[in-house]
Chains A and B, each alone.
Chain A
Amino acid sequence: MNFILFNMWEKTWGYKEGLAVCGGLFLTGILLQITIGKINWDLLAFPVNIILLVLYICAILLIHVNARRVYLFRWMSGYPATVTAMIGVVIITMVMGLTRQVQPRQTVDGFEAFLGFSQMLSAWPFVLIFTWLITILGLTLPKRILPFQWKNIPFLLNHLGLFIAVVGAVLGSADMQRLKMTTTVGKAEWRAYDNNQQLLELPLAIELNDFTIDEYPPKLMLIDNETGKALPEGKPVNLLLEDHLEQGKLGDWMIEVKQQIPEAASYSTTDTVKFVTFHSIGSTYAAYVRVTHIQTGEQKEGWISCGSFWVPYKALRLNDKVSLIMPEREPRRFASDITLYTQSGTKLAATIEVNKPLKIEGWKIYQLSYDETKGKWSDISIFELVRDPWLPIVYVGIYMLIAGAIWMFITASKRKEDSI
C-alpha cells in the first residue's frame, strides 16, 4: 500500500480518487460481510468502547501529525475527500432507506444476509463508509482546536459537535439498556426483560396504583357494506360526538343524536339490541341516532356503539350500500399512577405518561403499553426502562450543533461579504 502511495506522491488527488476510495471501502465491506458476517454491536460494550475510543483518537492524532509526510493523510483533511465521503454516505444510506429494515437481532439468511442491506446498521459496507466520513470529520479538528482561536468557534460547534454526538452515540450504543417491565395493579415489580428476553433484577421497584386511559369523544363514520372501506373513499369524513352534540352532517346524511350514554352495556331483546347505563368494568359508549338522507329523505334510527372487550360493537345499516359505524375511540392520554422504590431507600409517588417519562438514578421510565384487549379497563401497565450512560456525551454534541446552527443562521447573509 505504501509503495503505491509514494508513487502517487506528486499526483493531486481529486473527486475521482475520493469516489474510488468509497467504492473500495464498499467492496471491502461486501467481502467482510460475506466472509465473517454482520457486525455484532454488543461486542462494543464497556470497556471495549472506551478502549476503542482511545485508540480511535490516537489514530486520528497520528494521521494528523503524519499529514506532512504521507500524501493520503494530507488529502484526507481536504475538500475532495470530504465531499466524496459524504456522497458515499448519502448513497449507502439511500440504499438503506429503500430497503426494508429488520431488527438487528433477527436472523436473516440467503441473499439478504449475504449483502446485509436489510440490517444496514450492522452491515460492513455501511459501517466502513460511515467510519471513513467520521474519520475525515475528526481530522479537520486538531488544527482548529490548537492553537485556540475565537474565530474557529463556529467551525468547532458544527464539526466537533457532530463528531462528539456521532462517536458517543455509536460507541455508547452497546451500553444502552432498554428493558420492558410489566406491572399489575397493586403489585410491586422489580424484574424486567432485556432485548434478548433475559429476565433481569433491577435496583428499583415499581408498584402500579392505577392505570388510566382518557379518550377522545367517539366519532361516527360511513363505510361501504361490501368493502368495509371508509367513505367517501380516499377522503373519508367523520363526525366527532362531542358532549351535547345534537345534530351533525356526515356526507349526504343528517345525523340527529337522540341519546348518548358514555358508560353503557347492551342487552338483547327479541328483535334488537338495546343499551342501558352501566357504570363498571367493560362498559362502552353508545348513542341512539336518527339518520336522514339529505336528498332522498330515506331514514333510519337505532343504537350505535364502538363496543369494548365485553360489549360487542353495534353498527347501523343505513341501506344496501352504506352503514354507519362508531370506530374505537382514540386515546387522549395514557397514565400510570405509581409508587417507586429504590435500593437506596427512596420512595416516591409519580405519574408516568407518554412524553413524560420519570427520571431516577440514571434510569428513564417510559409509559410503553398496556393490556390492549381490555383497553381502558386494563389492569396492567408496561413500562420501558432506559439507561444510557453515554447520553450526556451525545447531548453535549447535540447542544453544540444547535448552537452552531443558530450561529450559521445569524451569519448566513454576512458570510460571503467577509470572504470576498
Chain B
Amino acid sequence: MKRTLARIVSLDERSLALLRIGLALLLLADLAVRASDLRAHYTADGILSAVDWVRLNADSPFPVLHLAGDAVWFQALLFALHALAALALLVGYRTPSATLVCWFLLTSLHLRNQMVLNGGDHLLRSVLFWSCFLPLGAVWSLDSQVPPRRVAPPKTVVSLAGIAYVLQMVLLYAATAVHKLHPDWTTDRTALYYALNIDHFTTRLGKMLLDYPDLLPLLTGLVFCAEAAAPILLLLPFPRMRVVTLAALAVMHLSFGAGLRIGIFAWSPIVCLLGLIPSQAWSAWPRPAWAQSLNEKASRFNAKLGRRERPRPFQAPVLVTAALLLMLALNVYNLRAPNEQPPRPVAFAARLLGMLQSWNMFAPYPPREDGWIVVEARTRQGDTLDPSRNGKPVDWTKPELVSATYKNQRWRRYLLTALLPRYEEYLRLYLEYLVKEWNRSHADQVVRATLYYMRETTLPDGRESPPEKLFMVEVTP
C-alpha cells in the first residue's frame, strides 16, 4: 500500500528538470508578450495607472513590487530582472532562489494588472510556488555539476511539496469537470458549439470546425470525459497509463489552442504536466552523446565561478502543509459557490500566498452572448473615426474574424472582463487610454469618444440573432 502510494506521488528528477526548463521558457515567452504592452498595461501612461489601481483595488497582503514605480524605466527594470531569473531557472543556476524570485515577481506582476490574467496564469503561478520546494535543479542543470560530481543515477523523490504539486494538477481537471456538470456538457453536448461561436476566441480553424455540426457533440463528450477521467488516471499507479494520459491531455490542450485564441492557457497546462512524466518513460531513451560534453562545460563554468555548494530546495514543511490545506480549501469553496468569495481568513491567506484559483472556463456552460467593440470618436474638426482601429472610419459591420481584432490574449482578457457590468470603470479607463494615445500623436484632437458593444446571441442550430448596438461608456476629455 505504502509503495503504491509512493509510486503515485513520487516525481522523477529528470521530469522535474524538464518541468524547470518548460517553466523557464514559458515565463520568458510570457514576459516577451507582456513586454510588448509594457507601457499600456503596467505604467502611469497606460490604461491602469497606480493611482487608478489604488482607487479600484483593496490593498493586497502580498507586496506588489510592480506598484512601487509607475514609470516605464522601473517596469522595464523589473521585467529585465524577471527575465534574468527565468534564464537562471532555465540553466538551473541557483535553482531554488531563481524559482523563488520568478514566483515572487510573477505574483507581483499578476497583481499589478489582474484584468489581463486567465487560468493559465493562475496555474503557472501555483506550480512555480510548489517548485520552490522541489528539486528542479537535481539534474540537467548547472547546480547538478557543482563538485563533487554525483555518480548515482537520477532518482525519484517523494516530498510534501511533490504531493501538493500532483494534487494541484489533479484538482485542475477534477474541478474543471465538476464545474462542467451541466446539460451543455453532459447530455445535450452543445458546449463546443457555443464555445466556438464566441467570436472573441475562435480561430479560423475553430470556425471551420463549426461546419461539421455532427462532430461537435462527439468532441464535447470527449473533452468532458477526458477532463473527468484525467484525475483518476493520473492517480492510478500504472506508469504506462500515465504516459498515455499525459499525451492525451497535451493533445487536448493543443487542440484548444488551435481552435481558440486563449494565449498562455494553451501552453501553461502542458508545461505544468511535464513534472508528472513517470521514470519508466525516461528509461526508454538512451543518454545522448552530447550530454557528457555539456556536463563538462557546466562543471568548468561552476569552477570558474568558484561554486562549492549545491543549492537545495527550500525546506518549509509548515508553510507547505498550510499552503496545501489552503489549496484544497480554496477548491472546495470554489466548487460549492463559484461566484462567491471564500470566508475572510481563507481569502486573506490565499491572497497572502498569491494562491487564488478557480478553474471554470466555459463552465458550467459557455456564454451565449458575444460580439465586438466599436469606438466612435469625434474630433475637433468634426471628423468621426475609430481610435481602436488606428483611426479608420467607424465601421459597424462585423469584422471578418473578431478574434483577430485583439492584439493579443492580454488585451482580449482585459476587454472581455471590462465588458462585464461590475468592471465598467475599467472600460472607461480603456476608452480614456485610447483617446489619450490618439491625442498624443495627432493634431486633430478627439473631443468625444463613445464605446459600443455590438452584441450577438448565439442561437441553436447555427443561427445567430442580429447584433444589438449597446452603448457602453462615453468620455469627453
* A and B from one complex: no
**B residues touching A (Cβ–Cβ < 8 Å)?**
none
